[in-house]
Amino acid sequence: MAEQAGAATSPFSYFEWMVARRYLGATRSGKGVSLISIIAFVGIMLAVAVLIIVMSVMQGFRAKLLEQMLGLNGHVFVQLTDPSDDPDPLIARILGTPGVRSAAPLMQAPVYATTPVGEEAVLVRAMRREDLLSIGGITGADKVVDGSFDSFGAGKNGGSDIALGARLAGALGVRAGGGVTLITGGGAETAFGRIPVRSKTYRVGAVFEVDNSQYDSSIIFMPLEQAQLFFQGSGASNQIEVRVADPDRLTLYIPPIEEIAEGRPVTDWTRIIGPYFEALKIERNVMRLILMLIVAVAALNIITGLVMLVKDKTGDIAILRTMGATQGAVMRIFFLSGALIGLLGTLFGVVIGALFVANIDAIEGALSALFNTDLFNAEIYFFQSIPAEMQLGEVATIAGWSLFMSFVSTLYPAWRAARLDPVEALRYE
């Protein structure tokens, strides 16, 4: 034993690992040491798991919201200030811009939708049939819950079929084949003046659900030709909606599109919804900082356990020193004792966090059923289910921070153990 504990023992040898592991257990004279070690382990494990879960959910929210916003809406918008503007020549030139995937005319206007069952304020998005059908996030087979888009835009002046979100259809009490009356103010000029209110009943051709409560509860799609007649003189917004290959690199596309627009106002998605995503980014960074501080506090519990461990093992330390163990060997033994707590706590925290994220919908459903309430209300959070996306880089950062704080927390108690004078320690033994 003396030879194993002597100066010739290599750093972090099996002897040091064995002693460190045994020191984590309860002893006859220090039964509270193992309890404190367990508390430190559980604290680190829960802190790491919570940090992984929260960061994954926040990343999932951002990714899914951005995917939906950019998938259902355009990326660049060219405003048509003159109602008499023919958008087709402008669209043809925009489509010639490298990186532009599509460009289509779009008309938007707020209206009042009524049925015998209910009434809602909604936004009409008017598009040509072929342009709307190219958006799989709305017209895909998995998105249509009632009716179909087969008759959308068919017939004279685009026909009378419209499409609306599932939540809006539920609020109005209408299904495919039913009728919805749309009311807008400020109609066309006549010999007797401007018509103050215009209304028309349209047939619901399709009901869609895109897993975004805002879209599903407030959007109606109408054929562009019909909208041009219905909203004539009502101040509807006319624009060209442009979709590009890489929405995150708009600086490549905006200058040539602005040149083609010839003075017409050009906006992009970052000016419309960009501030919202910046707010999400700031919130995510602040949340990460707060939860990392919680991980640090949990790791500091290791200090308490090791200080008590050093006090309990004073006699053992003195014996090890008299048998030839160096100060470095003693310091490494207690460093390993604390590091094992941090390592195991971090490992179990990562596993629990990953399992929670992988089964978050099932867990949310079980808790909602247990407490008889909707813990994830789609009206508040936009989505039907909790989006969660675990990033390996984020997990690695969390695990690295937890291990770093755990290792740092062990240094002072280990240093105190190494500085212990064997003579003073054995004087009262």
Residue 394 placed within a domain: yes
Do 60 and 92 belong together in one domain? no
pLDDT tens for each residue of 137-159: 888 888 899 999 999 988 888 88
| Helix, strand, coil in percent for the chain, rounding step 5 | 55, 20, 25
On whether the CB atoms of residues 309 and 413 are closer than 8 A, the answer is yes
Residue 21 and residue 91 in one domain = no
Given a cut of 70, whether residue 426 has pLDDT beyond it is: no
User: d(Cα 221, Cα 132) in Å, to the nearest integer?
Assistant: 9
Please determine, for residue 363, whether its predicted confidence score (pLDDT) is greater than 90. Answer: no
112 and 252 belong to one structural domain: yes
pLDDT at site 46 = 93
The segment with the largest mean pLDDT, out of 111-115, 246-250, 263-267, is 111-115
Q: How confident is residue 4, by pLDDT bands cut at 50, 70 and 90?
A: very low
Based on the structure, what is the number of domains in the chain? 2
CA distances from 122 to 143, 184, 215, 218, 270 (A): 20, 11, 10, 5, 23
Residue 218 · residue 192 · CB < 8 Å: no
Q: Which of 28-42, 111-125, 322-336, 339-353 has the lowest mean pLDDT?
A: 28-42
Q: Is the domain of 249 the same as that of 344?
A: no
Q: Which amino acid is at 116?
A: P
Of the candidates 236, 264, 292, which is a domain's last residue?
264
> For residues 371-386, b (16+ Cβ closer than 10 Å) or e, as one string?
eeeeebebeeebbeeb
pLDDT tens digits for range 387-409: 888 889 999 999 999 999 989 98
Same-domain pairing of 101 and 172: yes
In a domain, 34, yes or no: yes
Give the integer Cα–Cα distance in Å for 3 and 160.
94
Q: Are residues 56 and 98 in the same domain?
A: no
Residue 212, pLDDT above cutoff 80: no
In this structure, the answer to whether residues 158 and 299 fall within a common structural domain is no
Is the domain of 105 the same as that of 249?
yes
pTM over 0.75: no
Domain check: are 260 and 214 in the same one?
Answer: yes
DSSP letters along 323-366, please?
TT--HHHHHHHHHHHHHHHHHHHHHHHHHHHHHHHHTHHHHHHH
9: Cβ contacts below 8 Å, ≥ 6 apart: 15, 16, 325, 329
How does DSSP classify residue 293? H
Whether 71 is in a domain gets the answer no
**pLDDT attached to residue 352:** 95
Q: In this structure, are residues 241 and 106 in contact, taking their beta carbons and an 8 Å threshold?
A: yes
Both 284 and 260 in a single domain? no
Of 230, 264, 298, at which residue does a domain stop? 264
Domain residues for 87?
82-264
